[in-house]
Structure 1
Amino acid sequence: MSYICLVCQSEIDVDLDRNLIQCTKCGNRILLKPRPPALKKRVKAI
């Protein structure tokens, strides 16, 4: 599964088997899970 580093914005593949949760470029341990844009529900005006 790939994550995005909070500091350098690079895409990282995390190895959960060896419990390595760290950016390979900058060493940061805070990673973001990419999510699709949220869909807003539109309601008709009365």
Structure 2
Amino acid sequence: MSVFICVFCGAEVDVDLERNLIQCAKCGSRVVMKPKPPALKKRVKAI
């Protein structure tokens, strides 16, 4: 089971890829996205 985020309500959606079940339990939407890890910011010294 993979965890995705619902695009419309922001709830976590458990996706069963074996049975091809993709649907948000909260709002019923089938549009989900994979959560991205936080981006690391590169700090540059001021001149």
TM-score of the two chains, using structure 1 as the length reference = 0.74
Gaps of 5+ in 2: none
The number of aligned residues is 46
Identity among equivalent pairs (%)? 67
TM-score of the two chains, using structure 2 as the length reference = 0.73
Computed over aligned residues only, the root mean square deviation of the Cα atoms, in angstroms, reads 1.4
Other-structure match for 2:8: 7
Gaps of 5+ in 1: none
